[in-house]
Structure 1
């Protein structure tokens, strides 16, 4: 089994945090989004992952590539890097990894997290993971027949056709079939808004009679902008806390500080005269002094003083000293 992860977009809606780190490597509850994504996919598949292929931008840098290789290795899988040199859509991104497009595979876009407990129907030709939503007109949705099979895929329907939204994770019994259909799309220069879309390859597969079924997830969590990323961090902390996962490192130094769980607190964090939580993640090596923090995401090696933070997001090596609350400052920023 392979996992293919298109992630070449940096994530402009999450700036300034994505100016230095691509969005899929932003930590949620102490672990990069893409790391949590592939781990959760592996749990649902419940079988050995042979390869994780990442499609990234050419400017992401050597450190990002090394971090991605570590993620693949943590699953006992081979890691492969491909590059998408132009933003030409989801179908184009997948085809950048065409050398890995063979055999059973999951394709997952690295801007979302999920919670699911379902048995993947590996007898189907493909599975599209979906979540029931309240506003289906904002999503691509699937229609099902009486046998629970997918009969249509409708993008942002103006009139109600279904409330099962596609979340951007797909299983293919043989992903080479999708590769062949997407190659036809590229050869025909079939674009939508100047981009090649995975849905055009999927529609060609369905038209040929292949069987598509839904895989329904329990939770779908977005990481599109700062507010929803902070919210997703809190939701993930609650899930992990309920599962009994250890979230606070033994090396945390506490001096007259109070922690209200759930919180993730990394290695060698210092908490001095502070109230932390709930729903706070603090990365390794960060120091918090004379501050109250809740519902916030703080990355590594930051310095926070005299702060009262709620719904805040602070980058690596940032320094903050003040009384602002709903802040969003990127790596190496200084507010004193």
Structure 2
């Protein structure tokens, strides 16, 4: 959705000058004090920013926390939640709850079968299509935030989605869809016999030492697979570092490196969806720039986990997001790009 045009565009301009977002010369992959100070000056000038942390090669290069906030201040990270949901699906595959991303999961949803019979093509509901947002539903969330709001308020969220027509063959076209991301949480609850939050605690949060978290639930008590996860800056950095190190923390393997590779590989090319991503992986935005490719999770209003493996870099940020409408979000973005 356009609201994702968040107020951190200058981060790309200053940290990734070789990507074509500025006309300056190429620079070392190590962040200079001058470049960091330029970023921090911008950060301090934006009232909506709550936290901003840059870690390179395991060293905190920059940090900013608003007023009385700090490393352990909780924040609703909005759609950054999706990245965590994808990690949990990977962990479920690692632990044999699923066979692979090609597994058909339509059997969990009777309403899906009623819908699938009406389409003129093979309407399989595979994990891969949900993870890559290529399920084929008629859904316009990217351009109309009311799509998400109406789904979230619906008495039966599954029926709300499955009443939509399938307008493209699953796997063929990207359409940003939080409702299908939430299906992953529902499925995970079914196959593991655990609430998504409990599964995350056992297989992800505890191994990473993430102690503080809360997670929004739907009307049936299922954790929202698309949004509503509350983390602190420390937890966000730990997730970014896990992905940077291909599933390891130190010598400890938390999730298979092969899954991290899959999650951050291009699954579908994007067409004019996001200014800083050219493709989408598994609930993860991807920029395939040849010199410094990076991937990231981005949430409403400016929540961010960004990873650039070639720079050994993880950037995390949170902002005030409640009440931030399209016009204000766009104005902030444009001001920072001037």
| TM-score, normalised via structure 2 length | 0.24
Structure number with higher relative contact order (C-alpha < 8 Å, ≥ 6 residues apart)? 2
Structure in which a larger fraction of residues adopt helix: 2
Structure in which a larger fraction of residues adopt strand: 1
| TM-score, normalised via structure 1 length | 0.24
| Rg (Cα) greater in structure | 1
